[in-house]
Amino acid sequence: MNNNLIIINVLRFFALILLQVLVLNNIQFSGYINPYVYVLFILMLPVQTPGWIVLISSFLLGISIDMFSDSLGLHATASVLIAFIRPNIINILSAKEAFVAGAYLGIKYYSLKWFLTYALILVLIHHSILFYLEIFAFREFFHTFLQVIASSTATLILIIIGQYMFYKPIK
Amino acid sequence: MRNLLIFLWKRNLFFLFLLLEVISFTLFIENSYYQKAAFINSSSSISGSIYQIQNNIAEYFSLKVVNTTLANENAHLRSLSTDNYLKINNTVFTKNDTTYKLQYQYVSAKVINNSTNKRNNYLTLNIGKNQGITKDMGVISSRGIVGIVKDVSDNFSSVISVLHKDSKISAKIKKYGDVGSVLWNGYNYRRASLIDIPTHVPITRGDTIITSGFSSVFPEGIVIGKIIDHRIESGNTFYTITIEFSEDFNKLSYVYIIKNFFKNEQNDLEKKTQNE
């Protein structure tokens, strides 16, 4: 990674934390929808980033979100897990579609379909772990399941809107 | 030994993952137990000051509602003042009172962070240790109960909301005095359930639920909410009651923290009795 790329990623790290705790954590739609867009940081790290950097930065990201939401360890657990399985998902998806190893993972270098599938899998895993750990029981299984689906959809929509706002796809 | 090291090195990423997960998960479990102190939470100074800045901006948007609430409360307090009562007996009776001793004192605080949309909700208040706040104090608003102080830093305190899976408030029905517990089941932030009320009590829709005063945290008689639905499930000796909170937790801005001067005495005595 060259210096420019490091700076962009560090900036994205802090920008997403602030966006999450100051804006998105205050959004309330009927108690079912809590978008956690900060995972975009983990999604967008370049493919060639060394594994230990991905893991440690995801841990720091999760812990920072936890500090603001009084849920110490909750977001960190979910974030570290998707950081760990991220390379596997990329490998599986890339077998189907050839891609250029871009500077970062986003619709600028990858097709929308590819990025959406990739984001969908990781966001679903992340949100499931988050909501089921938070309640820490299966006794409200269906209610929590609805929360996972509704919140994942909201997160994905926000991520895709963000992609089109900041990055134009290369034709 | 050498093979073991090579094995570990080849799988270093997996072990780093395992280490980070164990750290996160331990923190999560440690922090989950009700009212267990944690070092990092929203009462810590970094996140506390960021929330303070956010709140300084956001409070302008709710000024109107806050003013109305405060005005209503002022009107209510004014109506309680002795000036409003007609003096029937003019004999001056100076009370150098030793019968009454101040038990509860109220400290006003501002909510600088609040949530209602999670399963476990917390609030952050703008006063802390320096203003005499300690752990386990009750928090109420002018409309009803709010929560219990979980943790304090020098200038902020973190409060476990009533909207929390571990919250259990000792409550009673104002009209009949039967005691039960209020639990929040997580679906709707305006509603909760009241348990342990036996079926022989003739409750009706609209009955007021108040705090029982049994726990040393809340004084007796603080409004919690109203009964909006009650039914008896077959074979059960207790009602299934749904109540609506009198406080809209989404609109909280000013709250009162309750200091109980006799709390330690009560707790020590109760602990002593239980241990015997």
Encoding tokens for residue B156?
């902020």
pLDDT attached to residue B33: 54
pLDDT attached to residue A13: 92
The answer as to whether B92 is a domain residue is: no
| DSSP calls for B24-57 | HHHHHHHHHSTT---SSSTTSHHHHHHHHHHHHH
Mean pLDDT of B11-22: 85
User: Which stretches of chain A are assigned E, i.e. beta strand?
Assistant: none
The answer as to whether B236 is a domain residue is: yes
Q: What percentage of chain B carries pLDDT values higher than 90?
A: 9
Would the pLDDT of B36 be above 50?
no
Of the listed ranges A42-51, A102-111, A124-133, B138-147, the least confidently predicted one is A102-111
* Amino acid found at B199: T
The answer as to whether B184 is a domain residue is: yes
| Contact criterion met (CB < 8 Å) for A31 and B116 | yes
The answer as to whether B18 is a domain residue is: no
The answer as to whether B231 is a domain residue is: yes
**Chain B residues bordering chain A (beta-carbon distance below 8 Å):** 12-14, 16-17, 20-21, 23-32, 38, 40-42, 44, 46-47, 50-51, 54, 115-120, 122, 158, 165, 186-189, 250
**Residue A30: left if φ>0, alpha if ψ -120 to 50, beta else—which one?**
left
pLDDT attached to residue B92: 47
| Contact criterion met (CB < 8 Å) for A72 and B38 | yes
Choose the mutation target among B61, B119, B163, B165 for the interface with A, i.e. most A CBs under 10 Å. Answer: B119
Instruction: Return the bridge partners of B139, or none.
Output: B147, B257
Show the domain range for B182. 168-247
3-state SS assignment for residue B66:
helix
Q: Is the ipTM of this complex over 0.90?
A: no
The answer as to whether B74 is a domain residue is: no
> For B114-145, how does the pLDDT look when each residue is reduced to its tens digit (9 = 90+)?
888 888 889 998 888 888 888 889 998 888 89
Domains detected in chain A = 3-166 (1.10.1760)
pLDDT attached to residue B81: 62
CATH of residue B184: 2.40.10.350
Q: How far apart are CA A147 and CA A34, in angstroms?
A: 8
Q: How far apart are the first and last CA of chain A?
A: 25
Q: How far apart are CA A21 and CA A131, in angstroms?
A: 17
* Amino acid found at B187: Y
The answer as to whether B254 is a domain residue is: no
Choose the mutation target among B24, B54, B189 for the interface with A, i.e. most A CBs under 10 Å. Answer: B24
pLDDT attached to residue B238: 87
pLDDT attached to residue A1: 52
CB A136 within 8 A of CB A20: no
The answer as to whether B11 is a domain residue is: no
Would the pLDDT of B104 be above 50?
yes
| Contact criterion met (CB < 8 Å) for A72 and B28 | yes
Burial B38-77 (b: 16+ CB within 10 A, else e): bebbbbbeebbebbbebbeeeeeeeeeeeeebeeeeeeee
More reliable by pLDDT, B39 or A159: A159
Q: How many contacts (CB atoms, under 8 Å) link A and B?
A: 106
Choose the mutation target among B11, B13, B19, B20 for the interface with A, i.e. most A CBs under 10 Å. Answer: B20
Total domains in chain B come to 1
pLDDT attached to residue A38: 93
> For A54-69, how does the pLDDT look when each residue is reduced to its tens digit (9 = 90+)?
999 999 999 999 888 8
| Contact criterion met (CB < 8 Å) for B115 and A69 | yes
Q: How far apart are CA B154 and CA B115, in angstroms?
A: 22
Would the pLDDT of B196 be above 70?
yes
